[in-house]
């Protein structure tokens, strides 16, 4: 019987299993030959189209290519509830001596899938966590080949959970930059904004990086004041999410309450192209709108269901609905 991820005992076993693979190179080497492998090419994940036109990642059995030395360069990203390890591998990474021999088109044809830019395909992904984590780890390894302390080349452990230099006690771990994403509300409306780089009609919660020395509440208050000129009265935590764009970030989702009497916006157009208030009816309508295709009329739409931006918007809408009933 396959147990659920919500089984506390199973979660404990799998967490310890993954930690063992990260710390034991021999055990990790044994696991990779009988694991599931997610392929990338130049940081583009191998994705397949589903019947509903969404995209999903492709997991291959690495034992099918166990005779190839390339799987030794794969990176541990997790495991299934059956205890099968999951690894990812970038076939187009120039650090690999075999990369020139890899034919991306042949791989796509063999797997009936395609290498797709993750940022562009994000709104079509049916499940996004594995590609997000994988791409972030692959990019980190590609950009940290030298030690920032000594300048010497770094090596990775078998799992890819760390990098180090020979004869040095300095260990480098993948890092994430803390970012707050705040849904501002005045009790009956919520505030959404858009940057000029966003797709047409796309609106989301306000977000910004934490400055050195700031806590979450201070960052929320500063970002809201800078971007839309509002004074935040209270901040409550909601949820969090890893985010790889443009580099690996740790998104901290919050609700930021302001006074209805002081809700006049003063948008900093160097930060945002636009920001506006939405009532419950507008939010409920927007949550039903799928990302428009190229050439479609411009409509107001929100982040996809697996993005923290929509989690915040949907949670606020649900709270409002209960409050009104």
pLDDT tens digit sequence for 155-206:
999 999 999 998 888 999 998 999 999 999 999 999 999 999 999 999 999 9
Which residues contact residue 218 at a Cβ distance below 8 angstroms, ignoring those fewer than 6 apart? Answer: none
Query: Which tokens in the block code for residue 214?
Result: 């700031």
The answer to whether the beta carbons of residues 154 and 163 sit under 8 Å apart is yes
Which pLDDT belongs to residue 3? 38
Residue 64: the pLDDT is: 45
Q: Give the pair of three-digit tokens for residue 149.
A: 């302390």
Asked if 83 contacts 166 with a C-beta cutoff of 8 angstroms, the reply is: no
Q: What is the pLDDT of residue 8?
A: 65
Mean of the per-residue pLDDT values for the chain?
88
228 confidence band (pLDDT: 50, 70, 90): very high
318 three-class SS: helix
Q: Tens digits of per-residue pLDDT, 77-106? A: 988 878 888 999 888 874 444 444 567 888
Prediction pTM value:
0.86
Delimit the CATH 3.90.79.10 region(s) of the chain: 177-324
Q: Which CATH number fits domain 177-324: 3.90.79.10, 3.50.50.60, 3.20.20.150, 3.40.50.2300?
A: 3.90.79.10
Residues β-bridged to residue 45 = 40
Give CA torsion, residues 108, 89, 308, 276, to 10 deg: -60
DSSP state string for 191-249: EEEE-TTSPTTB-B-EEEEPPTT--HHHHHHHHHHHHH-----EEEEEEEEEE-SSS-E
């Amino acid at each position: 019987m396959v147990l659920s991820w919500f089984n506390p005992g199973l979660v404990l076993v799998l967490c310890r299993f993954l930690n063992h693979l990260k710390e034991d190179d021999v055990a990790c080497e044994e696991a990779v030959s009988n694991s599931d492998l997610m392929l990338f090419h130049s940081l583009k994940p191998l994705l397949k189209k589903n019947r509903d036109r969404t995209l999903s990642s492709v997991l291959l059995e690495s034992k099918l290519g166990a005779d190839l030395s390339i799987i030794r360069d794969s990176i541990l990203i997790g495991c299934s509830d059956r205890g099968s390890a999951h690894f990812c591998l970038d076939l187009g990474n120039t650090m690999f001596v075999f990369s020139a021999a890899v034919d991306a088109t042949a791989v796509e044809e063999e797997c009936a899938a395609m290498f797709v830019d993750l940022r562009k395909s994000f709104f079509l992904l049916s499940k996004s966590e594995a590609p997000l984590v994988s791409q972030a780890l692959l990019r980190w390894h590609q950009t940290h080949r030298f030690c920032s302390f000594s300048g010497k080349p770094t090596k990775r452990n078998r799992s890819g959970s760390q990098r180090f230099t020979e004869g040095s006690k300095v260990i480098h771990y993948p890092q994430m930059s803390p970012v707050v994403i705040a849904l501002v509300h005045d009790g009956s409306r919520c505030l959404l904004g858009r940057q000029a780089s966003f797709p047409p009609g796309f609106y989301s919660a306000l977000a910004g990086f934490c400055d050195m020395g700031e806590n979450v509440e201070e960052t929320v208050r500063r970002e809201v004041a800078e971007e839309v000129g509002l004074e935040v009265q209270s901040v409550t935590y909601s949820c969090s999410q890893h985010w790889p764009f443009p580099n690996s970030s740790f998104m901290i989702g919050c609700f930021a309450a302001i006074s209805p009497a002081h809700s006049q916006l003063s948008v900093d157009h160097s930060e945002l192209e636009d920001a506006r208030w939405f009532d419950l009816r507008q939010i409920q309508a927007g949550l039903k709108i799928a990302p428009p295709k190229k050439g479609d009329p411009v409509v107001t739409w929100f982040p996809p269901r697996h993005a923290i931006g929509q989690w915040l918007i949907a949670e606020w809408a649900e709270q409002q609905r209960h409050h009104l009933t």
